[in-house]
Structure 1
């Protein structure tokens, strides 16, 4: 298998898009909370369109605020009934989630809103810290102020704030991608201890919770959530360091981690008490191997080692990437119904073909949902809400299905009443 991670990403050089291609992009947008359904295709907030915005209660310096229950969330999840077919969950997520003015962040917010979908944005804390204040960041095993991704301009920090605020109000999840994105050398996140991960997390949270103090800006609204409560999951830089992150994540009460690489399309389990929700190997049309379900891995297998990437190749690469996502979705939906996880960056690699590819796949999946299929385009947090209420014995049975394996006798037979799992059952194993 050539399912590549982003381990070698920083070798691309520090020039493009905030060094190593992890700076997010997009354009300044409205931050209203207009009608949007989270995973259901319709408004699930219980509020009529145009209802008054919630009253904000400032937290700390007013960078964040408590505004009540998040709008546009799905109905409370319930356990599957005996013989009931499980839904097909699809989770689109974005690493970095910075906004640098080329329209990508609002483009995908608009797309999600159009189709009643929710997503997860793994925000890099440094994207809310002005470069003039970079020495506030003390990264483990690296010099103070160092970062292997670039700091954003003040204007782009403002754009990021605008889009993160809009995202939460429209029902999306705000996770973390931590801060400096160190993937190589002695300071790599792959070598950090649990204590060092705690320092990194505390700093990432502080940059979100104290952006007003760090910028001095008083003319922008607060982020409308309590980040201490909002933050329940993450994806590490270059998919490194999960084993030492998990003890800290568990101590913080986090519910999932999306940092594993090389996962397959099967029903997930927990590691150290945390749901392990990895990028997955999916079919790569025209090739004899599978690829991880992330835009960078499409890029890596198509052109990253090439001295040139001829624009004439872009249409074929775009089609190949879109069909990889669609093939991964189709394989799960038609067989074991394992949740499908897709990772992305707000980047214009190879002429922006990977953004076009993920949009094409997104629309394909949304059309299936809109035709009546039980497809739920949700955030990681919303998926964890659902899986947490399922019966352990049902999850154990689902985990017996391999990649592309259909349930014997159909779902009605396969998930008929199953014997209860003892309290020490595998669904809650560390």
Structure 2
């Protein structure tokens, strides 16, 4: 269960090609969610006021729809089993995985967090507008989306927010590794990167020339309260920069099956390590990390894919079951809009969601909604949960936050 970066624990991948996409309080699994729809066309909120911001790329339309009410735990009440499904570098390309997962989310009534890469809303012809820290102007390890995919991504981001999902950030150029990667960036570098991501999202009308597309229905500067760094690197200085901006959380690391704590004033909502079926070590709850431990390449032996799909699904479920039957620590899953090994990791996540949703204690939430719940609890309750390494001795009914109940 070590945290070392060997074959057992790899960091999130960088892009595999110029056109590759990196995908990059609790509503119950049976609670009413956004209305079902089979169309991927953009929808404007009905009867919502609209105050255009800047060049009209974004607009303040009021509170986000489909947000749950926060419940404060009572004495002897078990916390819900929170599950966060998140996507790094959300964007819509020919694979249409963004729109696909919005349909999956509606079908299973699962709010999700989409970490939007800022340059996915910037046409390649405008790449000179991006001055990445420690790299040449216009550089990007992700490549640049064709205009039609920039347009499609704008539509899906709008749809996602109206459906109640969270829009966070995956920043811009996805630079990893020790040679000028994000792990080498200063606080000022991160502040510049964040400012540019915000600029690209809030000026797409000017940079794309689109005039017939409605604005994104939210104030992006207020909406983004957290993100995840490329390859899970550079979190220390990113969190210092994020604290200056008033962010609420960061999800740029890995953690054991424990309740979140605050770092630099932000909730650390890092990815959880989960048991890896058939092995004596754990793996980060992310598609790339599981894939690397199975095949080391993104197009491994097709004969193994059924086995790998089941193993990935069962890894997510093993982490879920351990938390559910133990200390109820939130399970944070991170994935990418990729078809690695024939898309088996897309299948594995959806199959795991279907099983998790059958448990009445499950609450699917966004990162932001999880922060809402954590912030609404009595500090003694949170401190008590943070101290649990397993279920309270004698069960939750006899557990007193701040007390000295033993754990098992």
Label 1:270 to 1:3 Cα distance change in 2 as closer, same or farther (>3 A): farther
* Distance in 2 of aligned mates of 1:393 and 1:210: 44
Label 1:386 to 1:127 Cα distance change in 2 as closer, same or farther (>3 A): same
In structure 2, what is the equivalent of residue 29 of structure 1? none
TM-score (norm 1): 0.86
Runs (4 or more) in structure 1 with deviation over 2 Å come to: 1-7, 12-15, 37-45, 50-53, 415-419
* Distance in 2 of aligned mates of 1:236 and 1:280: 16
Q: Which runs of 5+ in 1 are unaligned?
A: 25-36, 420-430
In structure 2, what is the equivalent of residue 351 of structure 1? 342
* Distance in 1 of aligned mates of 2:8 and 2:214: 42
In structure 2, what is the equivalent of residue 411 of structure 1? 396
8 Å CA contact 1:234–1:256 kept in 2: the answer is: yes
Match of 1:298 among 290, 302, 314: 290
Label 1:13 to 1:349 Cα distance change in 2 as closer, same or farther (>3 A): closer
Match of 1:267 among 223, 241, 259: 259
In structure 1, what is the equivalent of residue 92 of structure 2? 99
Pairs within 5 Å for 1:3-402: 3-6=8-11, 9-10=13-14, 13-14=16-17, 17-18=19-20, 22=22, 38-39=27-28, 41-43=30-32, 52-75=46-69, 77-261=70-254, 263-304=255-296, 309-368=300-359, 373-402=360-389
* Distance in 2 of aligned mates of 1:13 and 1:379: 27
* Distance in 2 of aligned mates of 1:357 and 1:101: 21
* Distance in 2 of aligned mates of 1:350 and 1:142: 32
* Distance in 2 of aligned mates of 1:5 and 1:401: 27
Offset, 1:51? 8.4
Label 1:416 to 1:144 Cα distance change in 2 as closer, same or farther (>3 A): closer
8 Å CA contact 1:82–1:415 kept in 2: the answer is: yes
Offset, 1:252? 0.5
**Partner-residue secondary structure (3-state), 1:167:** helix
Offset, 1:56? 2.1
Give aligned pairs, total. Answer: 390
* Distance in 1 of aligned mates of 2:158 and 2:46: 16
* Distance in 1 of aligned mates of 2:17 and 2:225: 31
**Partner-residue secondary structure (3-state), 2:125:** helix
* Distance in 1 of aligned mates of 2:118 and 2:214: 18
Offset, 1:38? 5.0
**Partner-residue secondary structure (3-state), 2:59:** strand
* Distance in 1 of aligned mates of 2:160 and 2:45: 18
Label 1:305 to 1:153 Cα distance change in 2 as closer, same or farther (>3 A): closer
In structure 1, what is the equivalent of residue 38 of structure 2? none
8 Å CA contact 2:93–2:149 kept in 1: the answer is: yes
Label 1:280 to 1:364 Cα distance change in 2 as closer, same or farther (>3 A): same
